[in-house]
A and B are shown apart, each in its own frame.
Chain A
């Protein structure tokens, strides 16, 4: 093929692609019109693909929306959500303002704030979805993500709460496990090399640092405001002191870190680590069911509270399947989909719905979910500590990298 012909072909491709429809906004208040437009559309759902349970759950959602709404849902499995953000950035850089490659993205926290600030998200839609009426709006984290108002630009999907796991068969009674960051430090002195956390910017690793910061900070209210340079050092000083004491006691003496929380599960199973943590209270039960963890593992929390937040789905500004993406987002907060998600046989992720808003039959079904032998009931999960403003996470990650990341 000559150069000329290739160039001609490239131009032809460009013309064909350029003539497709514009990524127009869709009005969710006219729901029947949304359903009609959604019919036959394909939704590329970019979501972390590291968990077979979650992948299977999303496949089930795909089958269901195909059957009911004639929507094709393709799960694009990510190894890091930031990659999807980077893709939308690249598309904006290339002027690809319509027909973008991502229609729905599993997101929260700093990734959301980044996209919102850069104008990479569709207009607010979440609060206008029909199933929004079931959502637990008394929980501020369904509309405020890391202190930043979502403006309806992301629709809640599930709750998350930091929970710790240990194996009493190796480490003694679960009741005697540490009950705060300080007690964890004391425990580590007695059991050196048996605790660690994923290196930031891993989401769960950064969250652990925030947990310690919230516990140790003098005035928690400053964390709800964007970080100010002048105060950063003094406010975070207790965190760095705690880390300095912890560092030599970490697994591998802090010279290496687990990749992420699933890696910590493996380390717990092998007996390399004795206390691990995750953002999903049912993680241990699911791990036992999957043969990843011994069936003696149990959960515990700090009685003073642990970090909690909500994870969402959002629609990029240049999606051309916005109607179908909204229908999927709406289905994800239906009692049916939320019930299945809370069941640890499928996933075990806490619901974002308010029990008192549900039909009695649905409420009973939620009450009957068997959360698994290693999962704490909602009543024993302890208080929720609110996420600091997203800017704290960014600064803490930078500072951590300076001190320990090189």
Chain B
């Protein structure tokens, strides 16, 4: 048996693996490549080239057919509005909430409530909201008794032509996400000293926060905000459940054309995919313009000399958006639970007259397999994403070896590549990706599915981990290095243990992202790898609220466990860590 090798000898080997630059580029390139290939796969049919369907010449006919579609302008308008309004309301809600509650008990309550809110998949939250606000939903059942109506009012609430219900559903899910990243960024924005300074100049609490702390927080969370913008402009599942149908937003119509039995529509659908990319691009452009505008307005407000001291009313109003979104999602989830146990439950009964276990007895045996698949794929994708992201972040840090206290960020080009899957609408490139996977004769396996999920999981893990990773005081590792420990030892004995909480949160976010994937799972899994999400969507088409409730809850369960564990593990591990810190 060989003697234990001193840890220091691993140093040269490690630095070869993480050669600054190359591995980062390789990883970023690998993650972005499928997006590029998928887009190319949409681009060719969009200009008429798809030999399998007889398209061998280039032409603009697919685009002409696309622009001749009735109601296309309305669809584009819906996508634009959805991208902009959802993000504006969500961001504003987060800013107001933090301004009103920073450093108070509300702040801590919100932090606690975030994990379960984030765990609810978009589709489940949308169904919950539908059960709440539909004319036959809980709210109108509560109103039915005092106002004496025995059947639901004929009101167009779900699927309203302006897409308000859809945007409400999106806001309810995106606001908690932005709040999470904002809370993480807050600690680095030096809020206490900035607030103290602004308060000493006589500003009210909320104004002090919005003028001194928020701009820094926003700069830090800009990327997640842009990701929300892109997502909301190309969303499919929430739009299908809550959005208008005549016409539907562009992404939904695109999916319809892609899946149409009339195969010639594929050309037009590909042109539509390119249009979707353009629409999302336009939304992002408008958002960036809006950023400048609000920045200018804020500066103007700051130079008027107003101190905005009386802000009690403002603080009550400021708490509303986040509180409404949070309670809507929780109430919706509760409704899903009640429906899954309900017998016949007609309008206007507020609670079901009878309960039974029939739904769960039928659902559970059928759901076991998909649950296992979901778990395996998600854990594989999330761990692989973590490994890649750590290598990526470390290789960048190596270039700043001695720069203590200096802010490190990923090179813009590399960041652009990793975050590409967050900015390019999924629906625009997954169909092209599907053709590539088939052309490579890749069989649908758990591993392949995990690799495809990795494309969407890795950016979120990077998003969650980058800031805490670079914020850790480098002097801990310098001390460790001075004791003769090599980089691998330092990584596993110092850095990772000290960053347990953010690392686990990042893994949980990655895990939840994988669980929620629908289109890539259906297309790449070729239906042979049903996950709880694909089953939920297929069964939801039957419109049975009991089944929908049961599956939405099952869909929430895995991410919820992941988030709970990520919150609990660091505390469980902490005695050991304390011992390590203070020997």
A residues lining the B interface (CB < 8 Å): 2-3, 6, 10, 13-14, 17-18, 44, 46, 48-52, 55-56, 59, 74, 76-87, 89-96, 99, 101-102, 110-111, 114-115, 118, 170, 193, 199, 201, 251-253, 255-257, 259-260, 262-263, 265-267, 269-272, 290-295, 394, 401-402, 404-406
B435 within 8 A of A: yes
Complex contact A79–B151 (CB within 8 A)? no
| Nearest-Cβ distance from residue B102 to partner chain A, whole angstroms | 42
Which chain A residues lie closer than 8 Å to B158 at the CB level? 256
B181 within 8 A of A: no
Complex contact A80–B259 (CB within 8 A)? yes
Complex contact B438–A90 (CB within 8 A)? yes
Complex contact B26–A3 (CB within 8 A)? yes
B311 within 8 A of A: no
Q: A14-B440, A96-B441, A260-B543 are in contact. Are A271 and B244 (CB under 8 A)?
A: no
Complex contact A93–B442 (CB within 8 A)? no
CB within 8 Å of A: which B110-169 residues: 135-136, 150-152, 154-156, 158-161
Complex contact B30–A256 (CB within 8 A)? no
B97 within 8 A of A: no
Most buried by A among B435, B443, B542: B542
Please tell me the number of chain B residues within 8 Å of chain A, measured between CB atoms.
74
Shortest Cβ distance from B55 into A: residue? A93
Complex contact A79–B540 (CB within 8 A)? yes
Which chain B residues lie closer than 8 Å to A115 at the CB level? 261
Complex contact A406–B262 (CB within 8 A)? no
| Nearest-Cβ distance from residue B550 to partner chain A, whole angstroms | 10
CB within 8 Å of A: which B428-464 residues: 431, 434-436, 438-444
Shortest Cβ distance from B370 into A: residue? A77
Shortest Cβ distance from B347 into A: residue? A270
Selecting from B218-226, B288-296, B490-498, B527-535, the interface stretch reads B527-535
| Nearest-Cβ distance from residue B61 to partner chain A, whole angstroms | 17
Complex contact B543–A50 (CB within 8 A)? yes
CA distance A260 to B240 in the complex (A): 13
Q: A50-B543, A93-B52, A93-B435 are in contact. Are A291 and B247 (CB under 8 A)?
A: no
B residues lining the A interface (CB < 8 Å): 26, 29-30, 50, 52-53, 69-72, 74-75, 135-136, 150-152, 154-156, 158-161, 244-247, 256, 258-263, 266, 342-344, 346-347, 356, 358, 362, 366, 431, 434-436, 438-444, 522, 526-528, 530, 534-535, 537-547
CA distance A381 to B136 in the complex (A): 32
Shortest Cβ distance from A401 into B: residue? B70
Most buried by A among B442, B537, B541, B547: B541
Complex contact A79–B541 (CB within 8 A)? yes
Which chain A residues lie closer than 8 Å to B440 at the CB level? 10, 13-14
Shortest Cβ distance from A46 into B: residue? B527
CA distance A329 to B273 in the complex (A): 38
| Nearest-Cβ distance from residue A333 to partner chain B, whole angstroms | 24
Which chain A residues lie closer than 8 Å to B259 at the CB level? 80, 82-83, 85-86
Which chain A residues lie closer than 8 Å to B244 at the CB level? 256
Known: A260-B543, A262-B543, A291-B546. 16 other contacts (CB 8 A): A18-B441, A49-B541, A50-B538, A50-B543, A76-B530, A85-B259, A85-B261, A85-B263, A89-B263, A95-B52, A110-B261, A262-B544, A266-B543, A267-B136, A290-B544, A406-B247
CA distance A267 to B151 in the complex (A): 10
| Nearest-Cβ distance from residue B511 to partner chain A, whole angstroms | 22
> Which single member of B74, B150, B156 contacts A271 (CB below 8 Å)?
B150
Complex contact B538–A86 (CB within 8 A)? no
> Which single member of A49, A96, A101, A251 contacts B539 (CB below 8 Å)?
A49
| Nearest-Cβ distance from residue A257 to partner chain B, whole angstroms | 6
Which chain B residues lie closer than 8 Å to A56 at the CB level? 362
CA distance A6 to B448 in the complex (A): 12
Q: A94-B438, A255-B161, A406-B70 are in contact. Are A3 and B261 (CB under 8 A)?
A: no
> Which single member of B52, B159, B539, B542 contacts A92 (CB below 8 Å)?
B52
Complex contact A405–B154 (CB within 8 A)? no
> Which single member of B135, B262, B528 contacts A74 (CB below 8 Å)?
B528
Which chain B residues lie closer than 8 Å to A267 at the CB level? 136
Complex contact A406–B71 (CB within 8 A)? yes
Q: A55-B366, A90-B434, A262-B544 are in contact. Are A271 and B347 (CB under 8 A)?
A: yes
Which chain B residues lie closer than 8 Å to A291 at the CB level? 342-344, 356, 358, 546
CA distance A255 to B154 in the complex (A): 11
Complex contact B246–A257 (CB within 8 A)? yes
Shortest Cβ distance from A11 into B: residue? B440
> Which single member of B156, B247, B526 contacts A101 (CB below 8 Å)?
B526
10 contacts between A and B (CB under 8 A): A2-B26, A52-B539, A78-B538, A89-B52, A101-B526, A111-B261, A263-B543, A272-B136, A291-B343, A294-B344
Which chain B residues lie closer than 8 Å to A102 at the CB level? 527
> Which single member of B29, B262, B443 contacts A114 (CB below 8 Å)?
B262
Complex contact B543–A251 (CB within 8 A)? no
Which chain B residues lie closer than 8 Å to A89 at the CB level? 52-53, 263, 266
Which chain B residues lie closer than 8 Å to A46 at the CB level? 527
CA distance A252 to B134 in the complex (A): 12
CA distance A49 to B346 in the complex (A): 25
| Nearest-Cβ distance from residue A141 to partner chain B, whole angstroms | 19
CA distance A3 to B358 in the complex (A): 51
CA distance A55 to B550 in the complex (A): 16
Which chain B residues lie closer than 8 Å to A271 at the CB level? 150-152, 346-347
Q: A49-B541, A77-B539, A269-B346 are in contact. Are A17 and B246 (CB under 8 A)?
A: no
Complex contact A50–B261 (CB within 8 A)? no
CA distance A211 to B161 in the complex (A): 28
| Nearest-Cβ distance from residue A12 to partner chain B, whole angstroms | 11
CA distance A86 to B344 in the complex (A): 37
Which chain A residues lie closer than 8 Å to B526 at the CB level? 87, 101
In order of increasing CB-CB distance, the 5 nearest A-B pairs are: A406-B71, A50-B542, A94-B438, A17-B441, A93-B52
| Nearest-Cβ distance from residue A373 to partner chain B, whole angstroms | 15
| Nearest-Cβ distance from residue B565 to partner chain A, whole angstroms | 28
Which chain A residues lie closer than 8 Å to B30 at the CB level? 3, 6
| Nearest-Cβ distance from residue A399 to partner chain B, whole angstroms | 10
Complex contact B441–A272 (CB within 8 A)? no
Complex contact B443–A17 (CB within 8 A)? yes
| Nearest-Cβ distance from residue A67 to partner chain B, whole angstroms | 18
CA distance A395 to B182 in the complex (A): 52
Complex contact A52–B544 (CB within 8 A)? yes
Complex contact B535–A77 (CB within 8 A)? yes
Which chain B residues lie closer than 8 Å to A269 at the CB level? 344, 346
Complex contact A52–B547 (CB within 8 A)? yes
Which chain B residues lie closer than 8 Å to A257 at the CB level? 245-246
Complex contact A82–B344 (CB within 8 A)? no
CA distance A21 to B559 in the complex (A): 40
CA distance A18 to B443 in the complex (A): 10
Which chain B residues lie closer than 8 Å to A17 at the CB level? 441-443
